[in-house]
Structure 1
Amino acid sequence: MNQLFLSPEHVLQGGYFHATLRKLQEPNVSIEPHNIMYPVFLLENDDAVQPVASMPNVSRYGINQLIPVLTDLVNKGLRSILIFGIVTNLPKDASGTNADSPDNPVIRALPKLRAALPSLLIACDVCLCPYTSHGHCGLLTPNGAIDHAASVRRIAEVALSYAKAGAQIVAPSDMMDNRIKAIKDALVSCKLQNQVAVLSYSCKFASSMYGPFRDTMKSSPMEGDRKCYQLPPGSSGLAARAAARDVAEGADFLMVKPGLPYLDIVRQTKDQFPQHPLFIYQVSGEYSMICKSGDKKEVETVLMETLTCMRRAGADCIITYFAPLILSLISDEQKQ
């Protein structure tokens, strides 16, 4: 058994234990509900609804408000979500204590979501930046550099806490080296490796297109930037090496982020690892630009063209804030 876990490329069951995950193992170029994942922002206040000023038709929800919204979308075909927790009242500290405390909104919400929406596939973003006082994705040394070993240990702790609370996918977005292996080892230690998948933000670039998201999450670094751990926008070589690193460490799924400006990386990654379902994140900046592309019909046309191009480039699943609109468009098409 120990020999098996030394060869993570042969550990397959974490990638198809759920019906939606099995659909992602059967790729084609159409745009169906299982090709769409909806990112949602979860607040501490269970009854709150807060519209996001920089992202039209997007809101931040407390769990009691989120469940009815998701129930309606599931009835329209929604298959999966990606949860981001937001804290404004819980204290932030250097180690991100409230990333996995009992008061964390994600930890509290997961059992309720699993009970209310048993068919919905639930992924949780795993990162420290929303919960740290310095706003970085890892822990820092006294001189302000990333403390790699401590960061990886802490990220694995948070991922395991989400898995125990009910997450079916944990998605580390921090871009620290070796965190995939640490998370996989933690899941194995609790016998969760065939119940919880790992979606790695493998090719996440230091993009200027995250502005509305960071404003929404209140997660911008207090000092410096993230260029020392997110990828340089012009580097295809580092993207290939990052994907290879995560595959070797046992990632079930890979991701390219942002989406449209990086379709060459999508194609490169899919060609490099055709056996791994590939996610693409249509980020907040892309969302805002498309929203401003014209009237309702023009927005819909630009959106569907963009999604088609993403699928053509090799994306199996697109993480997009347009999920409610896409589900409506798919439904309208099926009625014709």
Structure 2
Amino acid sequence: MSFPIVRHRRLRQSTGMRNMVRETVLNVNDLIMPIFVTYGQGVKNEISSMPGIYHFSLDTLKAEVDEIVDLGIPAVLLFGIPETKDSVGTSGFVENGIVQEATRLIKKWYPHLLVVADTCLCEFTDHGHCGMVHTFEVDGQVHGDVMNDESLELLTKTAVSQAKAGADIIAPSNMMDGFVQAIRAGLDEAGFEHVPIMSYSVKYASAFYGPFREAADSAPQFGDRKTYQMDPANAREALREAETDVLEGADMLMVKPALAYMDVIRTLKDQFDLPLVAYNVSGEYSMVKAAAQQGWINEKAIVQEMLTGMKRAGADIIITYFAKDAAGWMQER
């Protein structure tokens, strides 16, 4: 049958009708809000390239967490900016590290709020790479090789220290080969077999990370991350990366970034039955904010459409800097 018997507009006639037949619904429980924590006193500094996102010292953190909890957002993702950096990222895995201290405070204030700990070394190394680096000079220029296997031990130490501090979920973002297996073994040996791993399984070497590099002070001091993060042109490789993480014990899979990789999100959703996370990254956030400030777009409408699209593509969970905004709009609705 076809027109005029079939009329698709019948199911779009009113708000109630559209709500009843809506296929994809964004819920506050789908959201994770990233937070940047740092040392100092009285710090609440807006990140210039990410309007509305701040660096918080531990004494200003509670007001932010209070707001997140009041909005019903179930989880936060912690990134730390340390006082000191060295070649192996020691500040990332010491007991009194900034992420560890923030985790303890948040779990003390709100035991039910899930704390996801980003497990990487780039914020903590003086060279800005995600693992140990062997450096050398060629014609007076510094070059370096990121050493895969040697980095796994440090990443495992970082994950265990975060779990000891009370992190509910470990989210390794380093893209070293074998990182899920190493961290799973380390967590289990330390008695944290109950702590799940949210693996940055498919993390592309993307241009969308620019504002985050400012926020986390994590830009590489030489070279780039293309030898360990994925080529944006590759989709089949994403399946290999995700399958490896599944076999190594990942509990959740992630695609990062989200907007330019909707096809990859759908492919993983169709191939694997683990919860799937989409990371709506800093560049995606900043582009919308910049256009909205110019009056070129309706920010609320754009963000809701964008996040719904990520969920429609297959994401079960969305990490987004818009989490507070989106949760507030849901309360209004």
Q: Distance in 1 between matches of 2:130 and 2:274?
A: 25
Displacement of 1:74 in angstroms is: 0.6
Q: What's the counterpart of residue 288 of structure 1? A: 286
Displacement of 1:46 in angstroms is: 4.8
Q: What's the counterpart of residue 9 of structure 2? A: none
Q: Distance in 2 between matches of 1:234 and 1:176?
A: 19
Q: Which deviations, in whole Å up to 9, do the C-alpha atoms of 1:87-128 show, x marking residues without a partner?
A: 2xx321111111122342111121111010111010010111
| Residue number among 91, 99, 102 corresponding to 1:106 in the alignment | 99
Q: What's the counterpart of residue 40 of structure 1? A: 35
Secondary structure at the counterpart of residue 64 of structure 1: coil
Displacement of 1:132 in angstroms is: 0.8
User: Which of the pair has the greater relative contact order for Cα pairs under 8 Å at 6+ separation?
Assistant: 1
Displacement of 1:62 in angstroms is: 1.1
Q: What's the counterpart of residue 4 of structure 2? A: none
Map residues 155-170 of structure 1 onto 2, 5 A cutoff: 155-170=155-170
Counterpart of 1:300, as a letter, is K
Map residues 1-336 of structure 1 onto 2, 5 A cutoff: 29-87=24-82, 90-143=83-136, 144-194=144-194, 196-273=195-272, 275-294=273-292, 295=295, 298-333=298-333
Counterpart of 1:84, as a letter, is F
TM-score of the two chains, using structure 1 as the length reference: 0.87
CA contact (8 A) 1:180 1:250 kept: yes
CA contact (8 A) 2:79 2:118 kept: yes
The structure in which a higher percent of residues are strand is: 2
Q: Distance in 2 between matches of 1:72 and 1:93?
A: 34
Q: Distance in 2 between matches of 1:296 and 1:111?
A: 42
Displacement of 1:215 in angstroms is: 1.0
Q: Distance in 2 between matches of 1:73 and 1:191?
A: 30
Any unmatched runs of 5+ in structure 1? 1-27
CA contact (8 A) 2:95 2:161 kept: no
Q: Distance in 2 between matches of 1:214 and 1:226?
A: 13
Instruction: State, as a whole percentage, how many aligned pairs show the same letter.
Output: 39
Mark the CA change 1:297 to 1:221 in structure 2 (over 3 Å): closer, same or farther. closer
Secondary structure at the counterpart of residue 68 of structure 2: helix
Q: Which deviations, in whole Å up to 9, do the C-alpha atoms of 1:170-227 show, x marking residues without a partner?
A: 1111000101011111111122111x11010000000001111001111011100000
TM-score of the two chains, using structure 2 as the length reference: 0.88
Counterpart of 2:92, as a letter, is A
Q: Distance in 2 between matches of 1:180 and 1:254?
A: 11
Secondary structure at the counterpart of residue 175 of structure 2: coil
Counterpart of 1:251, as a letter, is A
Secondary structure at the counterpart of residue 197 of structure 1: coil
Secondary structure at the counterpart of residue 109 of structure 1: helix
Q: Name the larger-Rg structure.
A: 2
* Two-structure CA RMSD over aligned residues (Å): 1.4
The number of residue pairs the alignment matches comes to 302
Displacement of 1:164 in angstroms is: 0.6
Q: Which deviations, in whole Å up to 9, do the C-alpha atoms of 1:206-253 show, x marking residues without a partner?
A: 000111100111101110000000000010121111101100100000
Q: What's the counterpart of residue 17 of structure 1? A: none
Secondary structure at the counterpart of residue 61 of structure 1: strand
CA contact (8 A) 1:279 1:318 kept: yes
